[in-house]
Structure 1
Amino acid sequence: MLQTEVACVPAMINGGVDKTHYKQNHVYVGLDLHKETHTAVIIDCWNEKLDTIVIENKPSDFTKLLNKAKKIAGDLTPVFGLEDVHGYGRSLAVFLIEKGQVVKEVNSALSYSERMSYPTTKKSDDWDAYCIAAVLLRILDKLPDANPQDLYWTIKMIVNRRDAIVKAVTTLTNQLHGQLAYHYPSYKKFFNDVNSKTALVFWEKYPSPHHLTGVTEEDLAKVLRKPSHNCCSTRKAKEILDLVESDGDTTREYQESRDFIIQSIVRDIRFKAEEIKMVEKEMKSLLKLLDYKLETIPGVDTVTAIALVAGISDIKRFRNADKLARFAGIAPVNFSSAGKGKDKKSKQGNRELYAVFYFLAIQQIQVAKGSNLPRNPVFLEYYKRKISEGKTKIQALVCVMRRLVNIIYGMMKNKSEYVMPIVPLKEAV
């Protein structure tokens, strides 16, 4: 229901009934948002286009838009519909809300469906804005109020920042693999992880075999002991030197420049590793402000917890766990016709949030190597029970995800800790 409308009931006027529909009290402003400019289309309750306004994405132009909308509305109330209230349209949404305007969040899937419903489809800023306004008019009372909160916006940004750094590290690691293949053909046998702390020390000090000329097993072991915390012994040093000798001479012209490339990549990886630590420290500070206890769930660290918060945002916008499951694309969707059909796995919803729940479900059913002890006996028993009922492994995993939605919804709603239920070990293993 609109913030400015209490109910859609006829009003009694002079003993009669005013049959004016509540939608006739508004004009509808659909906005197509971009980085530099916004396009607004204003329509009335009869879906008639009243005007088109193009403004720059800056506060001074926001006032122009509001004044123009009020002028066109006259005695009516303008209602604004925005697709992206957390990105390019966030500043405008905040401005309009602070000015006491009614701002609705329009899911991009709705405006896309409106655009594709015409026999001849077209694509332009003006047409996109009109489609948003048409959706706003048609399902006004079903659209959620825009609520761009600074804390959740910041959390989303810091999650994106960490993802970008991790992606950059992956790119650098691939580049390092490519360069090392020319210098050390057997480099993969040197260390288990090519960008581990010990490996990076080795690549930086000995970017190519000719730097190892005259280096003894003890000399190399001395270099490797400190970064490996004494895990790399003289035996490991001998193994590396033997592999280098068996590979043969790989020195070519301009070798120093190629050595520099490897050393540059190593420095960049180190820098980004430190940046990730700093970002994760800031993540912990932001999570403390919300007082959630998500990290009490086995397998959930700071990164996973804040990824959940970034995807879910304010938990209060979901009336129950079913709504959250549907938002994440975890709840099944019914496909039927003529009374026949069945529930199928959803391919809709927030796929980033879906991926977080998928990763978390995998964590819950893991079993430790050697000891065969489950990380979460309750979920492992539940997973095995679903498989015994005839479900496939993927279907059983989705069931685990759905159960996690219920738990996480309750924990965020009540700010409670996760309490592991007691399950006999023989049932879980």
Structure 2
Amino acid sequence: MKTVFGIDVSKSTSNVAILIDSKKLKEFKIDNDLIGFGKLASALENFKDPEVIFEATGVYSRRLAFFLQKQGYPYVQLNPLQAKKEMDSLRKNKTDKNDAFHLAKTQFILNRHKTAIQNPIYSELMNESRFYQEQISDFVEEKNRLHRILQLVFPDIEQLFSLPTGQAYWNLVMEFPIPSLVQRYNADQLGEIAYEAANHTIGMGKAHKVGVKLLDLSKKAISSVNPDSLTIKQVKFHANRLLEIDKLKKKIIKSMKSLAEKLPEYDNLCSIPGISTVTAVSLIAELGDIRRFNRTSQINAFVGIDLMHYESGNYEAKDIISKRGNPYARKILYRTVIDMVSISRYRANHINDYYQKKKQSSQHGTKKIAVAAMSRLIRTIYHLVIKNETYDYSIASHARN
């Protein structure tokens, strides 16, 4: 006898349907807490080798997956799009009860493979990666806010460095949010302040030049607020927030690196030209253990760069990528391709060779070429991880991809 538990997971509760040889035995509802999961575990204990199937519902289903892993029960976790496609032909009415029943019902028909259980390091890396992505979003927003508010008080200070960013710049913005504060000091004094603002990472000669430039900028700057305006505090607040976020980002990456270094693929990825520590740990976090995939086309689908084809009668649409996969992984891979193209003059790589060749011979735009290069990069990463090898341009440039 084959027993299947179909579970429809929602925010705070889950519906469970137990089927034996395709026939419904029992249905019940549980809370997504320790008591509810304990009730589920008691039901599972009554059967030999029960199969559990549920749909991935973001953060809500992760608690169930973690509980099942701890209890030692294998499970099948379905992509929501896959679940919808497979169940639409069976259900006439969509309810949580029906979904739990039909999830279990389809398992008897399709006999899906159990979801591969990954090393807990991958889950922790993903959690930290998402936290890092949040900080990036906050960082961009704070930079925009600081830029807008500086236009009212001291817009010229953005010309102080080649780019209006970095520890030294934000410290000087907090120190001199308005031009009149700069003019209380001479160039030598401002140089010493700049040296401290940069945390001694620049020489005194360069710091002095920064002080001279800051003084010159303050003399031609005009502010639209009074020195006692609340706007001055806003400038300091946003500059300080940028400093805090920048420190937090570095702390998260350091933590991710210490975790990723325990995995063999970390060195594999870092050996690829254009992949930095940040990129390597982010890719591992978002892709997970890619050994669980049988072929690279599955990774393409997971990322969302698998092609969708539409044809009807005499009409045939251009193939487009599905964009149904992991958007974070897709963005990281895209940026990695661009980085590999950018650094190719210093470190040759076959991804750039492919990119340049397509760019010269194809009429497609650079974005489409980059997406095609992403697929090639995925094949490279997969090969290196599976074979546990490091990147070798002399081999990669002659390999058939």
Q: What TM-score bracket applies, with the shorter chain setting the length?
A: 0.7 to 0.9
Check whether the contact 1:42–1:69 (CA below 8 A) recurs between aligned residues: no
1:126 aligns to what? 97
Looking at structure 2, the residues matched to 219 and 94 of structure 1 have their Cα atoms a distance apart, in angstroms, of 58
Instruction: State yes or no: 1:187 paired with 2:157.
Output: yes
More moved, 215-224 vs 341-350: 341-350
| Mapped pair 1:93 → 2:65 | yes
Kept in 2: contact 1:59–1:92 (CA 8 A): no
Q: Which string of whole-angstrom CA distances, capped at 9 and with x for unpartnered residues, describes residues 38-92 of structure 1? A: 222334555x655432222233322312334666x7xx86421122398433343
Q: Which entry has the higher C-alpha Rg, 1 or 2?
A: 1
Change (3 A) 1:137 1:213: same
Query: Which residue in the other structure is 1:157 paired with?
Result: 127
Report how far residue 154 of structure 1 moved.
0.9
The answer to whether the 8 Å contact 1:218/1:237 transfers is yes
**Map of 1:392-407 to 2, 5 A cutoff?**
392=364, 393-407=366-380
1:12 equivalent in structure 2: none
The answer to whether structure 1 residue 364 and structure 2 residue 336 are counterparts is: no
Asked whether 1:81 is paired with 2:53, we answer yes
Q: Bigger CA drift: 286-295 or 169-178?
A: 169-178
Deviation of 1:120 after TM superposition, in Å, equals 6.9
2:362 to 390, 395, 408: 390
Summarize the alignment of residues 253-292 of structure 1 with structure 2, pairs less than 5 Å apart.
Answer: 254-255=228-229, 257-292=230-265
- What TM-score, normalized by structure 2, do the two folds share? 0.83
Q: Distance in 2 between matches of 1:58 and 1:86?
A: 16
Q: Structure 2: how far apart are the matches of 1:246 and 1:172? A: 26
2:307 is the counterpart of 1:332: yes
Aligned pairs for 1:28-427 (under 5 A) are 28-43=4-19, 45-46=21-22, 50-68=25-43, 78-84=50-56, 87-97=59-69, 99=71, 101-113=73-85, 122=94, 124-139=95-110, 141-145=111-115, 147-226=117-196, 227=198, 229-230=202-203, 232=206, 234-252=208-226, 254-255=228-229, 257-292=230-265, 293=267, 294-336=269-311, 344-347=319-322, 348-366=324-342, 373=345, 375-392=347-364, 393-421=366-394
Bigger drift between 222-231 and 56-65 goes to 222-231
Asked if the contact 1:36/1:57 (under 8 Å) is kept, the reply is: yes
Q: Distance in 1 between matches of 2:37 and 2:303?
A: 33
Q: Give the TM-score, by structure 1 length.
A: 0.78
Q: Give the whole-Å Cα distance in 1 for the aligned partners of 2:396 and 2:112.
A: 43
SS in structure 2 of the partner of residue 63 of structure 1: helix
Q: What secondary structure sits across from 1:271 in the alignment?
A: helix
SS in 2 for 1:167: helix
The 3-state SS of whatever aligns with 1:319 is: coil
CA contact (8 A) 1:200 1:266 kept: yes
Q: Distance in 2 between matches of 1:176 and 1:340?
A: 51
Offset of 1:192 from its aligned partner? 3.0
Q: Residues of 2 paired with 1:162 and 1:97: CA distance?
A: 26
Distance in 2 of aligned mates of 1:209 and 1:49: 76
- Give the residue type in structure 1 aligned to 2:29: V
Deviation of 1:101 after TM superposition, in Å, equals 4.0
Q: Give per-residue Cα distances to partners, 1:197-241, cap 9 Å, x unaligned.
A: 221121121122232243223322232234161364555434433
Seen in structure 2, the aligned counterparts of structure 1 residues 387 and 269 have a Cα distance that, compared at 3 Å, is: closer
Counterparts in 2 of 1:309 and 1:252: CA distance versus 1, 3 Å: same
Give 1:343 shift: 7.5
Give the deviation of 1:319 after TM superposition: 1.4
Structure 2 letter corresponding to 1:224: A
Residue 401 of structure 1 and its aligned partner are, at CA, apart by 1.6
Distance 1:91 1:377 in 2: 42
> 2:308 touches 2:319 (CA, 8 Å); kept in 1?
yes
Distance 1:417 1:339, change over 3 A: farther
Report which stretch shifted further, 187-196 or 281-290: 187-196
Equivalent-residue separation in structure 2 for 1:380 and 1:249 (angstroms): 48
Where does structure 1 lack aligned partners over 5 or more consecutive residues? 1-24, 425-429
Amino acid at match of 1:105: Q
Per the alignment, do residues 339 and 309 of structure 1 end up closer, same or farther by CA in structure 2, a change over 3 Å counting? farther
> For the residues of structure 1 that align with 2:68 and 2:173, how far apart are their CA atoms?
55
User: The residue matched to 1:88 in structure 2 has which SS?
Assistant: helix
The CA distance in 1 between the partners of 2:318 and 2:298, in whole Å, is 17
Whichever structure has more helix as a proportion of its residues is: 2
Q: Distance in 2 between matches of 1:83 and 1:205?
A: 53
Residue identity in the other structure for 2:13: T
Q: Secondary structure of the equivalent of 1:105?
A: strand
Aligned to 1:20: none
Which amino acid counterpart does residue 175 of structure 2 have in structure 1?
K
Q: For residue 113 of structure 1, give the secondary structure of its aligned residue in structure 2.
A: helix
* Structure 2 unmatched ranges of 5 or more: none
Deviation at 1:128, TM superposition (A): 4.0
Q: Which has the bigger relative contact order, CA under 8 A and spacing at least 6? A: 2
Aligned-pair CA distance for 1:338:
7.1
**Is the contact made by 1:136 and 1:143 (CA closer than 8 Å) also made in structure 2?**
no
Match for 2:181: what amino acid?
Answer: H
